[in-house]
Structure 1
Amino acid sequence: MTNPYKSNTCDEIVFSSFFKNHSKALRNFIFYKYGDKDQAEDLVQEAFIKLWQNCTTVPIEKAKSYIYTIANNSSLNVIAHQKVVLKYQKDFSGFDKTNESPEFILEEKQFENKLLKAIENLNETQRVAFLMHRIDGKKYSEIAEELSIGIKAVEKRIHLALFELRKEIENFK
């Protein structure tokens, strides 16, 4: 007895086409949600590897949902691990911080860290909409369609994100 899904998802041409069509969007989704590009790329690869390993049980119609769920869950696992690592580093910091670099470079690095922290502190809905607009250059209508929300909701999320970022940067000065 043959499995009807095997000819679909397990077909290398179908799988390759599916990968090409969805890998960038999945990477951007994970990057926007969690803020680490390298981690996002790794998690996308892992999600597609798991899809390939389970191609006989995952129909192509459900593959998109499957890879997003796998990548999101893997991200949450990585974040939980990072929290443990950061707690350990905070408690046992052995880094020697010197003032050997020029003042401008130091200030620039501090500002960059502050900006990244401010973006990280945005709530998820604001951060995702903001990064999709500013990094991907997507129009409000495209963002609204991808997130299944109205254009006004996208406008409000981006406006609130900018407001929060301005507030954080003003506090930095």
Structure 2
Amino acid sequence: MSKPLHNNVCNEKNFSLLYEKYAQELGNFLYYKYGNTLNPTDKVQDAFIKLWENCAKVVPEKVKSFLYTVANNLMLNAVKHQKIVFKYQEVKPKDYTNESPEFVLRKKEFLKRYEKALSNLKEEERVAFMLSKIEGKTHKEVGEILGITKKVAEHRIYSAFKKLKEQLDDFR
């Protein structure tokens, strides 16, 4: 059994020995687990600061466990924070396109005609079609949502699809 390096964590000399013993190893652990983007060396420093602040409460045998737990939690908090930042970071729309002006115009025209064609469908056909094609529901799920059988849902979807194809046929 190895001899412990420390008897009292609050002793500056013992704390310095603990730092020399665990800092590099802890930094490598965080680097391997989370990469370099979240500054693992900063988290190691913060973990040792927490150890110093709580040195009277930490039993000398539990120092390594305390350091690894604190450092890992600091990294997890940084990961959570980064996810929140990315979520709320405004994505600026690009003000240019690789599409030709003719294509953009045809796309707008098609969208108008598609919306008009959808509005010309019977309500039950439009609802079934949109549940199936827009929301990705199966025919069975469409039937359950609308309170109809699977076969009736299929008929409504295919009927709507056929009418849309007829009205938008010249856009091929």
Structure with higher Rg: it is 2
Of structures 1 and 2, the one scoring higher in RCO (CA 8 A, sep 6+) is: 1
- Please give the TM-score of this superposition, normalised by the length of structure 2: 0.48
More helix by share: 1
